[in-house]
Amino acid sequence: MRAPQSSLIRLQCKDKNIIGFSGTGRSFYLCNECLDSKNTIRALARQCKTNATQKLLQQLKEIIVDVR
């Protein structure tokens, strides 16, 4: 599915944590539908090189609240 970039959330992995994009480094975009998928959390854990999926899920929820 394609969505306009303005409707996506831009994030990045830094020190095995998910944070909002800081302006430098590699980043990725997520749509609202992808945020609710368990597969997305597992993929993010692989990308951030961590096994702490619950921690990543909590970080994602905090970021989403701040963005909205």
Distance between CA atoms of residues 8 and 31, nearest Å: 5
Q: What is the pLDDT of residue 21?
A: 92
Q: What is the pLDDT of residue 12?
A: 93
**Sheet arrangement for strand 9-14:** 17-20, 9-14, 28-30
Distance between CA atoms of residues 34 and 49, nearest Å: 19
Question: What are the sequence ranges of the domains in the chain?
Answer: 5-67
Residue 2 structure tokens: 């394609």
Residue pLDDT, tens place only, 14-68: 998 899 999 999 999 998 888 778 788 888 888 888 888 888 888 888 887 776 5
Q: 36 with 21: CB under 8 angstroms?
A: no
**What SS3 state is found at 14?**
strand
